[in-house]
Amino acid sequence: MSRASGFLAIAFALLCGALPARAAQDAALERGTAIIDPVTLRELDGGRFRLDRMLSPQRSADTPLAGGELFALPSMLQLRQAIDREFDRYIAQHNASLPKETIGVGTGFDFQLFDRALLYSADTRFVLAGIVNRMDRIYAAEASCGEIRLIYRLTRLNKPAGDDASPRLPMTLNLVLKAKAEGAAITCAEIAGRWLAMPPDQILSAPSGPLDLINPENIDRIETNLQIAHAPKSAVRDFRTDYLLKVFRYNRDAGAFVEGPMENQIDRARLLADDGLKREFKAWLLDTANLAAFDRGTVLIPEKFLASGAIAPTPIGFDPSDLSPEFGLLQSEGAVFNEADVVTALKKATESGVKLQNIRSPAGFERRLNDVTCAGCHQTRGIGGFHFPGVDWMAEKPSNTTVVPASPHFYGDQVRRRDILASLRDGKSPDYSRGFASRPQLRGGTELAGTNYYDGWGAHCYLRGKPAAGNDASFRDWTCAEGLSCQAAGKISRIGMCFVKSR
């Protein structure tokens, strides 16, 4: 096993083994910002938050819609057609680029495809896996006070007796709702206050709680994340899993979900192939106002530069890789940006009074190009290709991989999200900025200090060298807690992981 593969294996063990031991702290981190308790979710899934009741509230039947019936709903037909097209495109691209590696459904193939028949089966359905408050995204949806997300996991039904395997399948469906319905009299401050005041043990019974505000009328879009294929470790490759990401906006007039561009998912192939589009994107992003938002993580890239779907391969390691969304956009032949462009733009922004929080070098600019995208974010500190798989409340004996509700990236961001909710509640001006996906913001507190979310064992860090002037300004503060040292996880990158110091 290579050194990089060894670190990836350790990282996977951290996700699937170390996180459950921190359950008490996890519960504190997500207070007021998410509902992840399996018993509560089971109750909610049995009521009006069941997916088919959200998508088709006029339906009165008590029996949940199975996958085949769900995707036969008029509102879901375009979603099914788009996913089928992506499968066909993925297979065609695989055959063109890797003709010697077979692809198909089943263990007999080099690349094992997800059996899409399971999506449209009578033996599967989507179950509620979590509810997440994303009012920290008000900068993208001010009129609706940001978003609330209902996350559903595809799950097998009628599992054979004696089968202890989890019934869950590797796909999530994220139903994104406006936190505030159009025309509603309630304020963003009041909504935030309801979430922060929500007693964990009274979610189902609390009068005038935040769940009262979640209704089908608030639906904005569906986001899907599907493990489209898996390649086990072999003589020719390390293990690899590819995830298909898609977004479908709800067209209320048509009563249907329609395929749309993904927020900030830069269409790398189209940009690199079109010199005019390349120049336009370069000028737009390096504009001081847009660069400042890019640094803060609140940038909204115009749709003309975006893709309508993405494949996020995992794991990709820490070194530069063409599997990363930003690969080739900076400092390569035919790139959109060169280092001189970035240095000049950063200097101009600083001289104009912009206080850069994250991007202080071309390397920081390149990293933000990656983690601002959907695919790049999902490749960073995820559980496989997911940030919120949710707890498996349908399994009799859940394995470690299904006990962990969410990734370190998710938990590390809860302090920031809760800080924004508190500011909204108190009538203060929130700070919507965020750090890199690998390194969350502390927001002046100590909750994350010493944990694997920030600077504890397994956290991402920067391997500093001498002289100090040679350390990259964007990452030199990524240090490890007392007793740990930063150890490189790749051959080129100085981004590594915190482990016990060598004796």
Gap between the Cα atoms of 389 and 43, Å rounded: 18
What does residue 386 show for φ and ψ, rounded to 5 degrees? -120, 145
What DSSP line would sit under 34-82, residue for residue?
A: EE--HHHHHHHHTTTTSHHHHH-TT---SSPPPHHHHTTSGGGHHHHHH
Mean per-residue pLDDT pooled into runs of 10, the chain (503 residues): 46 43 55 92 94 92 92 96 97 96 96 96 96 97 97 89 78 98 95 90 78 95 98 89 98 96 97 97 98 98 97 91 92 92 97 97 96 94 90 69 80 96 97 96 91 95 92 96 93 94 68
Closest residue by Cα to residue 350 from 340, 365, 338, 360: 360
Question: Facing residues of 249 across strands?
Answer: 221, 258
Write a three-state SS string for 99-145: CCCCEECCCCCCEEECCHHHCCCCCEEEEEEEEEEEHHHHHHCCCCC
pTM summary value:
0.92
Provide CB contacts within 8 A for 222, sequence distance 6+.
79, 173, 174, 175, 176, 247, 248, 250, 257
Give the pLDDT score at 164: 67
Q: What is the distance between the alpha carbons of residues 114 and 120, in angstroms, rounded to a whole number?
A: 12
**Sign of the CA dihedral 351, 355, 361, 365?**
negative
User: What are the two backbone dihedrals, phi and then psi, of residue 222, each rounded to the nearest 5 degrees?
Assistant: -120, 135
Question: What pLDDT shows up at residue 11?
Answer: 47
Instruction: For residue 354, count CB atoms less than 10 angstroms from its CB and return exposed for 0-12, middle for 13-18, buried for 19 or more.
Output: middle
Cα-Cα-Cα-Cα dihedral sign, residues 315, 318, 323, 324: positive
DSSP assignment, residue 250? E
pLDDT at 8: 46
Could you say which DSSP state residue 261 is in?
A: P
What does the pLDDT read at residue 133?
A: 97
